[in-house]
Amino acid sequence: MAEYAMAIDDNRLEDWVELFDEACDYKVVTRENVEQNLPNVLMWCDNKNMLRDRVESYRHVNLYNLHYDRHVLGPLRFTGNDGATWRFDVSYSLFQTELEGASRLFSVGRYRIEALVEAGEARLKAVTVVADTGLVPSLLATPI
């Protein structure tokens, strides 16, 4: 998870994608929707190619607020395992800093993660970001 956060914070989004398995699922949802059993997503990639597309689009197509990201990860709790698949929850805070140096809290919430651990190597199978911060400041481009 440290590499997950730092890859995004260092703007190495391509490296971030490489932490995922080819058959993976990445989703950003809000606590407001989850608590009402509503399926709406802010972002959803249901395989690694969609993650690659997101990143490529950010690099060449989309325009968004120029900023630095900084993730601070909170307590991590294992919630179970199923053979080589391990599940755990981690809380996060994500701060954004503008080019002129002003920082703000951008999002807080929790990751729900499924990782495949094989031969001493972990690959992400599923990451669901459940954001408490349903009111997205400005816009959400770079991943949480």
Partner 1 sequence: MKSEIRWPRNDYSRVPFRLHHDEELYALEMERIFRGPAWSYLCLEAEIPNPGDFRTTWVGDTPVVVSRAKDGTIHAFVNRCSHRGATIVRELRGNAERHVCLYHRWTYSTAGELTGLPFRKGLKGEGGMPEDFEMKSVSPRKMKVGNCAGMLFGTFQPEKAEALEKYLGEFGTGIIKRFLNRPIRVLGYSRQLIAGNWKLYAENLRDTYHASLLHEFFVTYGVDRATQKGGVKMDERHRHNMNHAYAATDTHEDAKAAYADTAARLDRMRLRDSKLLQFKNEFPDGMNLAAPTLFPNALLIQINNTLATRQIRPKGVGGHEVFQTVFGYVDDDEAMTRHRLMSSNLVGPAGFVSMEDGEAIEVVQKATRSAGDASAIVEMGGRGPLRDLAHRVTETPIRGFWSYWAELMGVEPEGAIR
Interaction of residue 130 with partner 1, rule CB under 8 A = no
Tell me the window of 1-9, 13-21, 49-57, 78-86 that interacts with partner 1 (CB under 8 A): 49-57
| DSSP assignment letter at 47 | S
Contact pick of 19, 73, 116, 140 for partner 1 (by CB under 8 A): 140
Radius of gyration of the chain (CA): 15
Nearer to partner 1, 49 or 103 (CB): 49
Which residues ranging from 65 to 84 are in contact with partner 1 (CB under 8 A)?
65
Contact pick of 23, 41, 84, 105 for partner 1 (by CB under 8 A): 41
| DSSP assignment letter at 65 | -
Q: Which residue has the tokens 């601070």?
A: 72
The least distance separating partner 1 from the CB of residue 70, rounded to whole angstroms, comes to: 19
For partner 1, how many residues bind (rule: CB under 8 A)? 35
For residue 92, the SS3 value is strand
Q: For residue 51, give the H/E element and its range.
A: helix 48-60
Cβ distance 115 to 122 under 8 Å?
Answer: yes
Q: Find the angle CA(105)-CA(106)-CA(108) to the nearest 5 degrees.
A: 85
Residues lying near partner 1 in the complex (CB under 8 A) are found at 28, 30, 32-33, 36, 38-47, 49-50, 52-53, 56-57, 60-65, 134-141
